[in-house]
Structure 1
Amino acid sequence: MYGVCPDDWDLAQKLITGGCDPLPRRRCLSRASPDYNKPFPVNSSLWGQPSDANILWSHYKCKGYSCLVSNETRDRRGFFKCADCFDLSKRGWEIPSTESVSAEFTIDEGHPFNEVIALRGLLPLYLSIGSRLPFFDNTLDIIHSTLFLDGWIGKELLQFVLFDWDRALRPKGLLWVDRFFCPKEVMKLYLDEFASLSYKKLLWKVVPKTDKDGDELFFSAVLEKPIRR
């Protein structure tokens, strides 16, 4: 009989962010939360607060969902600038467009993005930015990147990402880039890479990032993939 696997997802995440793919587990079976409950039905899970019992909290500083969204725990929950990522009472379209929200975190002080996404009835993809998307060519209606890409990414890696997104998007599909930010002196370099796709510009906007005194800029765009024959 096989035993239960150790709770070592943090090690796998270190490998993924370092550009390595963890090998499949062997000779052990996956571990669940001790008090696991059946998730909410799909029609009520999208904007419903997930149950604390369905998340393994062992590697998080927060030990309950309320900790992720409370202002009182901001200094001790292990991440910052991301309360709205988990606040489901404040739906995405209600977040002010001027509000700066980031998903910055460290390996050992993370937060349960994948668990919460799955408990909301959506499909989380757990892979590194340098991985090929697990979708067939010309199949996706839309790719939406929000506060994911920013000025930390090198030109070569950005090219890889954009070419792979182009591969997966169907003709006339939409690429929605939401609040890409970087120092203003290098913004043109990134804009040139997005423009090199030769997509139709349905929206193309650059504005100052207000919390950085104008030293950084936000770039948002909605781009339509052309039909190439």
Structure 2
Amino acid sequence: MRERNVTIVTTSMNLDGPFNSFIASPGLISMHVSVSQRLPFFENTLDIVHSMHVLSNWIPDAMLEFTLYDIYRVLRPGGFSGLIISSIWSVQLNETYVPMMDRVGFKKLRWNAGMKLDRGIKKNKWYFSALLE
């Protein structure tokens, strides 16, 4: 990406590991930002925002919606957000997450949900991934 003059900024959670050091080692810009903070970027400045296994049912709905609005805020028009949301109940997908995405204003480009296997056992928990514009 460096050859194409693309800057990659990534964040990690502090889970007692050297995640930020590992991320920064190949030259990426690493930050620690919690889900309760606004992203430290101006409006319409990013082309892509990706989240994996951070946005989940452990976050209160109001905070999740705040985070989604903030992602929407920093994206340039035509920018993309890739979200992977794990460990949600199937009822949450239709009653909480779908209406929330609609309220924020994302255009849904690709939308997948699949049952989560926990130690080989199927439970009524799901992984949900979305490519949003």
Same fold (TM over 0.5): yes
**Greater share of strand residues, 1 or 2?**
2
After superposition, the Cα gap between the structure-2 partners of 1:179 and 1:155, relative to the gap in structure 1 and judged at 3 Å, is: closer
In structure 2, distance between residues paired with 1:144 and 1:196: 19
In structure 1, distance between residues paired with 2:101 and 2:88: 14
State the Cα deviation string for residues 89-110 of structure 1 (Å, max 9, x = none). Answer: xxxxxxxxxxxxxx9985xxx1
In structure 1, distance between residues paired with 2:70 and 2:37: 9
In structure 1, distance between residues paired with 2:14 and 2:91: 25
Q: Does 1:147 align with 2:45?
A: no
Q: Does 1:217 align with 2:123?
A: no
TM-score, length-normalised on structure 2? 0.80
After superposition, the Cα gap between the structure-2 partners of 1:146 and 1:187, relative to the gap in structure 1 and judged at 3 Å, is: same
Name the residue aligned to 1:123: 29
Q: Does 1:196 align with 2:103?
A: yes
RMSD: 2.2
In structure 2, distance between residues paired with 1:124 and 1:220: 24
Q: Name stretches of at least 5 consecutive residues in structure 1 with no aligned partner.
A: 1-41, 44-102, 225-229
After superposition, the Cα gap between the structure-2 partners of 1:182 and 1:118, relative to the gap in structure 1 and judged at 3 Å, is: same
* Alpha-carbon distance, 1:135 to partner: 0.7
Contact 2:72 2:106 in 1 (8 A): no
TM-score, length-normalised on structure 1? 0.48
Matches within 5 A, 1:150-161: 150-161=56-67
The 4+ residue runs of structure 1 with deviation greater than 3 A are 103-106
Aligned residues: 121
Name the structure, 1 or 2, with higher relative contact order (CA <8 Å, separation 6+): 2
Q: Indicate the percent of aligned positions where both proteins have the same amino acid.
A: 36
